[in-house]
Amino acid sequence: MSQKQSSIGIWIMTVIAVLFGLLTIKSGGQVLFGGESYQKAAGNYVLFVLWFNFIAGFFYLVAGIGIGLRQTWAVWLSFLIALATLIVFALFGIYIFQGGEHEIRTVIAMSLRTIVWSSIFIFSYRKFILT
């Protein structure tokens, strides 16, 4: 892969991570701090998942900036984000199997978060650690 293609890939991952972070902070913050109308619109949200995602959004921003700056620590932060997301997703699964009320969109969102951050980790590992 050429240097230009590599730079484009890094730029794309940076944009994805930062946009993901901004959208996560906005959506989580609205439900947590925006009042009853946002909470009603969110439906049967699961508080520990909501808090995790809101806080994780700030780490998404940091990881995205680190990737954009080609910092190796961002690789490991991306790994920790992916791992923590997977753990919270598993705990959420236990919550569901115990009969906890939830929204299917939370299952979809957590699946997407797990895939996105696993992909960002794998990409950044290949770019910054293996090369």
Query: Where in the chain are the domains?
Result: 3-129
On whether the CB atoms of residues 114 and 86 are closer than 8 A, the answer is: yes
pLDDT value for 101: 97
DSSP 21-45: HHHHHHHHHHHHHS-HHHHHHH-S-
pLDDT score of 2 more than 80: no
**Residue 59, token pair as written in the block:** 């780490």
pLDDT score of 78 more than 80: yes
The residue with greater pLDDT, 7 or 1, is 7
How many beta carbons lie within 10 A of that of residue 81, not counting itself? Answer: 25
State pLDDT tens for residues 107-121. 999 999 999 999 999
Mean pLDDT for all residues in the chain = 96
pLDDT value for 21: 98
